[in-house]
Homo-oligomer: A and B are copies of this chain.
Amino acid sequence: MRASQILIATVKETPADAEVISHQLMLRAGMIRKLATGLYSWLPLGLRVLRKVERIVREEMDRAGAQEVLMPVVQPAELWQESGRWEQYGAELLRIGDRHQRDFCLGPTHEEVITDLIRNELRSYKQLPANFYQIQTKFRDEIRPRFGVMRAREFVMKDAYSFHQDQASLQATYDTMHEAYTRIFTRLGLDFRPVIADTGSIGGSGSHEFHVLAESGEDDIAFSDSSDYAANVEMAEALPPAGERPAATATLDKVATPEVGSIEQVCAFFDCPAAQTVKTLLVYGEADENGKQALIALVLRGDHQLNDIKAEKLPGIAAPLTLAEEKDIKAALGCGPGSIGPVGLNLRTVVDRSAAHCADFICGANDEGYHLTGVNWERDVPLVEIADIRDVVSGDPSPDGKGTLLIKRGIEVGHIFQLGTKYSEAMKATVLNEQGKEQTMIMGCYGIGVSRVVASAIEQNNDDKGILWPDSIAPFQIAIVPLNMQKSERVREAAETLYEELKLQGYDVLLDDRNERPGVKFADIELIGIPHRIVIGDRGLDKGMLEYKHRRAEDNEDLPAENVLAFISERLPR
């Protein structure tokens, strides 16, 4: 492609309303333009990237045996009523009425439509397993769309849905999708982690999210420094500390601690590390037959955070997990939340594994304005119920027993999920089994945020000059910049020849034939993020040389003109 033939709409100024770097750079590089809140048009340069992502996703889904279909954006309400989601789904589901006042919605996802389609098409267990995908426009009416295409209202998604006769078959397709996703994000050139994700009520290891690691990510990912273990911080197991709990050395003491409530205040008051303290949180238990909810104490080390998901899964705890109100605490204990401690507490008490390993620790005295020091389990307070109820922290041992956990931020770009029979049961999607009896199909679903991948690639790959695209999804792989092309016939000829040769080799090349100063061209190419740049000028040609620069390199390299193809094929293997 010639630069004169494609809209290069670069902008110098950083747009005021773009908070994250990918949004800023996509606007500045002329990849997207905002149409309305959460709605973006893709300009030619941006669309080239989007299409490359789509192609890689499509190739790997095909290779994994999934079949491509295309379902409508507009979906009838009836199906959502059948699944129960018409009522459950919040305002993100954009509901619309057609000219005949029939209810429809813009599809945020297609479980209902595919389940309806497949229950009518597949009749026998012999037709299973089957996996269907589409790459298609979706709409979610986000209350606060932001970060450009990262969290837009209209976006491009690859969604797939698989159908099975039994759990083993679902697991096999799930594993195949896990591999396909790994290939996809590897081919996209991204630093990513498949992380164990929450499955809600389903349990087991039936869900993985694929995260692109980037500072700006909204999720915390815990992963091992020595294995491929990775999980959402909420999901990572905090192993019990190694070894025996240290023996008690201090005596129990009650200390007046006026105005001391938070862990920071306790540490300051006693001049001790937070790991030497424990905190006690009260939450509500499930309602008894009279509707009464008992209080339950959760004890954590002072430097650890309660993990809501883990705590909520404990038997007898009310969901959603809710911290007790101050008035309920005062009524039960006679003190405020800053003075609670496990000693003498007449409540069910769940102690986190790490807190249970503490000795000589400090805690609230259940007496307003007092703390206990030198507290020891068993000696001063019984240790009845131990559980993992905290978030892991950097430095924790990896739950798979290999290495130490690191924590980084991630952007969720993919999700694979064992749906089970949630939709197939509600919508009566059955096949006849070997015995000729109706059997409900088991389902899996597999999504990739195609347009979000583009933004996340930028979040992970950028510098102060612009975008640093991976080769596989750059809008162009190579930029040829002829110097003084308008005047030097020799430069023009060399540039045109190289352009044709590289295109013939199958490379995606931009010939910058614009009548602009070299500095303008260089800046544009760096902002747009084309990975390989070849400059052709009269001075170099005198010596038979061109100039090569990789977008990530500091300096130019001299490149003998006759070696270009070999040089490039080494840098850009296909």
> What residues on B are CB-neighbors of A132 within 8 Å?
7, 44
> What residues on B are CB-neighbors of A94 within 8 Å?
96, 98-99
**Provided the pairs A7-B130, A121-B9 are in contact, do residues A68 and B44 lie with their beta carbons within 8 angstroms?**
yes
> What residues on B are CB-neighbors of A40 within 8 Å?
72
Contact among B47, B68, B76 for A35, CB-based, below 8 A = B76
Let me know if A117 and B74 touch, CB within 8 A: no
Let me know if A41 and B72 touch, CB within 8 A: yes
> What residues on B are CB-neighbors of A33 within 8 Å?
117, 120-121
A16 contacts the other chain (CB 8 A): no
Number of copies: 2
CB interface residues, A 135-150, toward B, < 8 Å: 136-137, 139, 141, 143
A75 contacts the other chain (CB 8 A): yes
A383 contacts the other chain (CB 8 A): no
Q: Which residue of B lies closest to A40 (CB)?
A: B72
> What residues on B are CB-neighbors of A5 within 8 Å?
65, 67
**Provided the pairs A7-B130, A98-B94 are in contact, do residues A117 and B69 lie with their beta carbons within 8 angstroms?**
no
CB interface residues, A 67-97, toward B, < 8 Å: 67-76, 78, 91-92, 94, 96
> What residues on B are CB-neighbors of A36 within 8 Å?
72, 75-76, 78, 104
Distance, CA A117 to CA B104, complexed state (A): 29
Let me know if B65 and A42 touch, CB within 8 A: no
A29 CB to nearest chain B CB (Å)? 13
Let me know if B91 and A41 touch, CB within 8 A: no
> What residues on B are CB-neighbors of A44 within 8 Å?
67-69, 132
A145 CB to nearest chain B CB (Å)? 10
Distance, CA A35 to CA B121, complexed state (A): 13
Distance, CA A154 to CA B70, complexed state (A): 12
> What residues on B are CB-neighbors of A98 within 8 Å?
94, 141, 153
A50 contacts the other chain (CB 8 A): yes
Q: Which residue of B lies closest to A35 (CB)?
A: B72
A173 CB to nearest chain B CB (Å)? 13
A252 contacts the other chain (CB 8 A): no
A-side interface mostly = mixed
Let me know if A7 and B67 touch, CB within 8 A: yes
CB interface residues, A 27-54, toward B, < 8 Å: 33, 35-36, 39-44, 47, 50
> What residues on B are CB-neighbors of A42 within 8 Å?
69-71
> What residues on B are CB-neighbors of A39 within 8 Å?
72, 74-76
A116 contacts the other chain (CB 8 A): yes
Let me know if B41 and A71 touch, CB within 8 A: yes
Let me know if A35 and B116 touch, CB within 8 A: yes
Let me know if A70 and B50 touch, CB within 8 A: yes
Interface centre among A35, A42, A70, A94 (most CB of B within 10 A): A70
Q: Which residue of B lies closest to A50 (CB)?
A: B70
A106 contacts the other chain (CB 8 A): yes
Distance, CA A43 to CA B40, complexed state (A): 29
**Provided the pairs A74-B106, A74-B154, A137-B137 are in contact, do residues A69 and B41 lie with their beta carbons within 8 angstroms?**
yes
Distance, CA A113 to CA B68, complexed state (A): 30
A6 contacts the other chain (CB 8 A): yes
A183 CB to nearest chain B CB (Å)? 19
Let me know if A117 and B67 touch, CB within 8 A: no
Interface centre among A50, A75, A106 (most CB of B within 10 A): A106
Q: Which residue of B lies closest to A33 (CB)?
A: B117
A181 CB to nearest chain B CB (Å)? 20
Distance, CA A94 to CA B153, complexed state (A): 18
Contact among B41, B106, B120, B141 for A70, CB-based, below 8 A = B41
> What residues on B are CB-neighbors of A154 within 8 Å?
72-74
Let me know if A35 and B113 touch, CB within 8 A: yes
> What residues on B are CB-neighbors of A6 within 8 Å?
67
Distance, CA A50 to CA B70, complexed state (A): 10
> What residues on B are CB-neighbors of A106 within 8 Å?
74, 96
> What residues on B are CB-neighbors of A74 within 8 Å?
39, 106, 139, 153-154
> What residues on B are CB-neighbors of A136 within 8 Å?
137
Let me know if A70 and B99 touch, CB within 8 A: no
A269 CB to nearest chain B CB (Å)? 48
A100 CB to nearest chain B CB (Å)? 8
23 contacts between A and B (CB under 8 A): A5-B65, A5-B67, A7-B67, A7-B121, A7-B132, A33-B120, A33-B121, A35-B72, A35-B116, A36-B72, A41-B70, A41-B71, A43-B69, A73-B139, A73-B154, A74-B106, A74-B153, A91-B99, A94-B98, A96-B96, A98-B153, A99-B141, A99-B143
Known: A35-B72, A137-B137. 18 other contacts (CB 8 A): A5-B65, A6-B67, A7-B130, A9-B121, A33-B121, A35-B75, A35-B76, A36-B72, A36-B75, A36-B104, A39-B75, A41-B70, A41-B113, A42-B69, A44-B69, A72-B154, A94-B98, A99-B143
Ranked nearest first, the 6 interchain pairs of A and B with the lowest CB-CB distance are: A42-B70, A36-B76, A44-B67, A91-B99, A39-B72, A96-B96
